A and B are shown apart, each in its own frame.
Chain A
Amino acid sequence: SQTIHQWPATLVQPVGSPLSLECTVEGTSNPNLYWYRQAAGRGLQLLFYSVGIGQISSEVPQNLSASRPQDRQFILSSKKLLLSDSGFYLCAAGGNQPQHFGDGTRLSIL
């Protein structure tokens, strides 16, 4: 079965600092990968998805970027964090429904 690893679990960063969140997937090959953000008390918003290595699609304009250097690795990055980047970030893997999620990263911006 699929296992999705995300780290770190929590992160506190100052405004203007860079960001790198990592997601890796076990138990499947060539998955579709997704990054979602959940603001406090809200639903999930899709940020990026990837159907293969080096293939990234962005759903909403933002301060973040994503990369997929390997088949089962998905990275969320920023060069300079904004206060509005605070939230709970979830990585998901699919390709054959339904999507399964990692445990998430809680990002706080000071």
Chain B
Amino acid sequence: AQTVTQSQPEMSVQEAETVTLSCTYDTSENNYYLFWYKQPPSRQMILVIRQEAYKQQNATENRFSVNFQKAAKSFSLKISDSQLGDTAMYFCAFMKRPGGGNEKLTFGTGTRLTIIP
């Protein structure tokens, strides 16, 4: 079974600064996907970024980037030039490579990020 660990329950950073959220995972799988989801106060779950384990290049989406260390089973999220709208809970999630029709997500417990004006 897979486990996902987020060791930072809460973080805060000044607006425009850079912040890094940590995530580690445990799996015996070799092919899988990793995701970061954002959940603002509205509670909607929004996909931020995804990484395919077989790709060595780190994924980037505008101000969001990841540092994927497969051997260390680490998947951190970096938010650059943070904005007030980035305030949210952030969840790291793991999914085995699709096959057989069941792509279950395993979530970490989340990090509550607050951007301070």
Contacts and interface: CB of A to CB of B under 8 A. Distances in A.
Interface residues of A, number: 26
A100 B50 CA distance: 13
Interface residues of B, number: 23
B44 A44 contact: no
Contacts, number: 60
Interface string A80-110: 0000000010101011111111011010000
B101 A32 contact: yes
Contacts of B105: 34, 44, 46, 92, 99
Interface of B: 33, 35, 37, 42-47, 50, 91, 95, 98, 101-110
22 contacts: A32-B101, A32-B103, A43-B91, A43-B110, A44-B45, A44-B91, A44-B107, A46-B104, A46-B105, A49-B104, A51-B102, A57-B102, A92-B45, A96-B98, A97-B33, A97-B50, A97-B103, A98-B35, A99-B105, A101-B44, A101-B46, A104-B43
